[in-house]
Structure formats: structure tokens, C-alpha cells
């Protein structure tokens, strides 16, 4: 990994965020909502409306509004929520931290389950266990999140009565209750991710199993366990990292639905509320934060991948 490559990758990330800025601003500009009207209500006098428009800079040309907006956004100021009157950015970042908790839990559970499952399926290639796992994987990717979530809630809240169906408790307040509230959402997200990661792990393991170094390790007389863990798993995991990073993008989208269903006050739900109430600053902040998070994870994944795999030379 050369310095020039790293620099190029960072520039690419910045370019990505810049494009997202343009898109988000363009889309919210086109929203059929008059910010001044939303702020003052239906019965506002024309003079008051005009005053607010001047104050918010709504009469400026669009490009000037864009420049102002970007300048403020870069310093972390996305304006004031039209719904609550509070600054948007801190609220959204708090929401993001709750979402990240959910995402991290789901990723951890996914890797714990999917990696062994994928390897197992590959070792049993073509047999019943392999077929069974691929059927499960197929179901996982073919069910939309809202279906998985509702069906899991239907099944589990009946069987496990102490599992709350909705709501959120901060782990700083009560760790036990927090985990209980997170159980169902984490499980739902994981069901979908496991399907994806497992399929990838299976096909990578199959590739590695046919490689010369695995045959050499076996011929050397290494115990099967050592071969599988030290040689097969290590090498098969590498491409899976990239897939997991790409799944983070999916995760951020899927989290909107999951948070809506389980009533978790994360960034997805905040964004849904912003969209239904046409709260422009909140929509802009939410969309920007989500897309930026994704751009950062993608860059990190590329860097980690390059660090782990010394064979890759990017120039």
C-alpha cells in the first residue's frame, strides 16, 4: 500500500461526500415545501413570511444557498429542526450512536454465525447440510426486512415473554434491559446479513480448499483442525471483509425499516420522521450523516483489505 494510493483513496472519499452533498441539496430543494410556511403555519401574514424568507436566505439564488449550506454543514451546523426548533446535528448524531450500537451488535452476531456456517457448508459440499444451509440463505436474502422483523416478533414474543417487542433503553442506564430491547432487532438484521455473508464464505472456502497450499499443508501431515483454521479460514475471510463493508451500506438502509418497526430512536427512524413531517434540515442532516458513514466504512474496508493482503499492490 503506497502513500499515493492512500491519498487517492482519501480524495475519492471526499469526492463521494461532495457528490452526496449536491444530490441531497438538489433533492431537498425540489421538495414541494415552503420552509417559511412550515415554520410559521398556515395563518402567517405575508409580511412575516417575507421576513422569515429573508432571514433564512430563501430569496437568494439557489447556488448561493448551496454555498451557504455547504459552508455551514462542513462546520457541523445543519440548521434548526422545523419540528422541534432544536439544532439538528447533535440530535442526529445521538440517533446515529444508537443505530451504530444496533449495527455493531448485528455485525458481530453475523460474523459469529455466518463464518462457521459457510465453512461447514463448503466442507459438506453437495450433501444435505450444504443444501439445507443454502435454502436458509436463499430465504434470508429473499425476505424483505419488514417481513423478517414482523414474523420474528410474532414468533418470539409469544415463546419468550420477557422479550420486549419494541422500544429502546440506553445501555448506560440499564445494561440488562438495553440488551433485551436490542435482542429482536439485532436478530432480524443478522438473519439477512448471515444469508449474504454465509454464501460468500462458502464459495471462498471452496476456492481455498482447492489451492496448492492447502494440499501442501495436508500432505505435510498437519492436523485437519490446524489446516482449517490457520490456512483455510484465514484466506477465505479476506474477501468476506469487503462484502461485509458493502453490507454496511445495506445495513444503513435496512436499519430505517428495522428502527421504524421496533421503535428504536436511531438515525433511520429520525429520518423517517423528518421525511413524513417534511423537516428539511433534519432530512438533509440525516441523509448526509448516513451517506458519509457509508463512505468512511468503505474507505476503511479498502485500507484494511490492502493492509491484510500484502499481495495487493495498488498504484
Partner 1 sequence: MTELLQRMIRKPQGVIGLTLLVALAILCLLGPWLAPYGPEKMDFLGRFRAPGWQNWLGADQFGRDVLSRLLSGARATVPMALAATLAGSAIGAVIGIGSAYLGGKSDEAIMRTNDAVMAIPGLLMALLLVSTLGNGAGNAVVAIALAFAPGMARVTRSVALAVRNQDYVKAAVARGEAAAHVIFREMLPNVMGPIIIEATIRVSFAVMLFATLSFLGLGAQPPASEWGLMVADARQYMHRAPWILIAPSAAIALSAIAFNLVGDALRDALNPRDDR
Q: Would you tell me which residues interact with partner 1 (CB under 8 A)?
A: 12, 15-16, 18-20, 23-24, 27-28, 30-32, 138-139, 141-147, 150-151, 153-154, 158, 203, 206, 249-250, 252-254, 256-257, 260, 271-272, 275-276, 278, 283, 287, 290-291, 294-295, 298
Residue 295 C-beta: closest distance to partner 1, Å: 5
The residue (of 19 and 175) whose beta carbon lies closer to partner 1 is 19
Q: Label residue 263 left, alpha or beta by phi (over 0 means left) and psi (-120 to 50 means alpha).
A: left
Cβ at position 66, least distance to partner 1 in Å: 16
For partner 1, the closer CB: 164 or 171 = 164
> Are the C-beta atoms of residues 115 and 103 closer than 8 Å to each other?
no
Residue closer to partner 1 (CB basis): 105 or 286: 286
Which CB atom, from 138 or from 314, has the smaller least distance to partner 1? Answer: 138
Between residues 86 and 154, which has the closer beta carbon with respect to partner 1?
154
Range 102-115 burial, b when 16+ CB lie within 10 A, else e: bbebbbebbbebbb
Instruction: Name every residue whose Cβ is closer than 8 Å to that of residue 164 and which is 6 or more positions away in sequence.
Output: 180, 181, 184
Q: Which residues pair with 80 in a beta bridge?
A: 87
For partner 1, which is the closer residue by CB, 150 or 174?
A: 150
Cα torsion at 6, 11, 14, 16 (round to 10°)? -100
- Pull the grid cell for residue 261: 418497526
* Minimum CB distance to partner 1, residue 123 (Å): 15
Least distance from C-beta 103 to partner 1, angstroms? Answer: 12
| CB 48, min distance to partner 1, A | 27
Cell of 101: 450500537
Q: Which residues does 123 contact at the CB level (< 8 Å), separation at least 6?
A: 205, 209, 228
CA torsion through residues 216, 218, 223, 229, sign? positive
Q: How many CA atoms lie within 13 A of 107 on its CB side?
A: 19
Shortest distance (Å) from residue 135 CB to partner 1: 10
Amino acid at each position: 500500500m503506497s502513500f499515493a494510493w492512500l491519498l487517492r483513496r482519501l480524495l475519492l472519499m471526499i469526492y463521494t461526500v461532495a457528490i452526496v452533498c449536491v444530490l441531497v441539496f438538489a433533492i431537498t430543494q425540489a421538495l414541494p415545501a415552503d420552509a417559511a410556511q412550515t415554520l410559521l403555519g398556515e395563518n402567517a401574514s405575508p409580511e412575516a413570511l417575507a421576513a422569515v424568507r429573508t432571514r433564512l436566505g430563501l430569496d437568494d439564488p439557489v447556488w448561493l444557498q448551496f454555498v451557504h449550506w455547504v459552508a455551514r454543514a462542513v462546520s457541523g451546523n445543519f440548521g434548526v429542526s422545523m419540528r422541534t426548533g432544536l439544532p439538528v446535528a447533535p440530535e442526529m448524531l445521538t440517533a446515529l450512536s444508537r443505530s451504530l450500537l444496533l449495527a455493531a451488535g448485528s455485525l458481530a452476531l453475523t460474523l459469529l454465525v455466518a463464518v462457521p456456517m459457510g465453512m461447514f457448508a463448503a466442507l459438506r459440499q453437495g450433501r444435505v447440510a450444504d443444501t439445507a444451509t443454502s435454502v436458509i440463505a436463499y430465504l434470508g436474502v429473499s425476505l424483505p426486512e419488514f417481513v423478517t422483523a414482523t414474523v420474528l416478533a410474532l414468533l418470539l414474543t409469544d415463546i419468550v415473554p420477557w422479550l420486549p417487542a419494541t422500544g429502546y433503553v440506553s445501555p448506560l442506564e440499564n445494561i440488562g434491559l438495553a440488551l433485551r430491547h436490542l435482542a429482536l432487532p439485532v436478530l432480524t438484521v443478522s438473519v439477512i446479513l448471515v444469508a449474504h455473508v454465509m454464501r460468500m464464505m462458502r464459495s471462498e472456502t471452496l476456492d481455498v480448499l482447492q489451492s496448492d497450499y492447502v494440499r501442501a499443508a495436508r500432505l505435510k501431515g498437519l492436523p485437519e483442525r490446524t489446516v482449517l483454521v490457520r490456512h483455510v479460514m484465514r484466506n477465505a475471510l479476506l474477501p468476506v471483509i469487503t462484502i461485509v463493508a458493502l453490507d454496511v451500506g445495506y445495513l444503513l438502509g435496512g436499519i430505517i425499516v428495522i428502527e421504524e418497526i421496533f421503535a428504536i430512536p436511531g438515525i433511520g427512524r429520525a429520518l423517517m420522521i423528518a421525511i413524513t413531517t417534511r423537516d428539511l434540515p433534519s432530512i438533509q442532516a440525516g441523509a448526509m450523516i448516513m451517506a458519509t458513514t457509508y463512505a468512511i466504512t468503505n474507505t476503511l474496508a479498502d485500507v484494511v483489505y490492502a493492509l491484510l493482503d500484502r499481495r495487493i499492490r495498488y498504484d
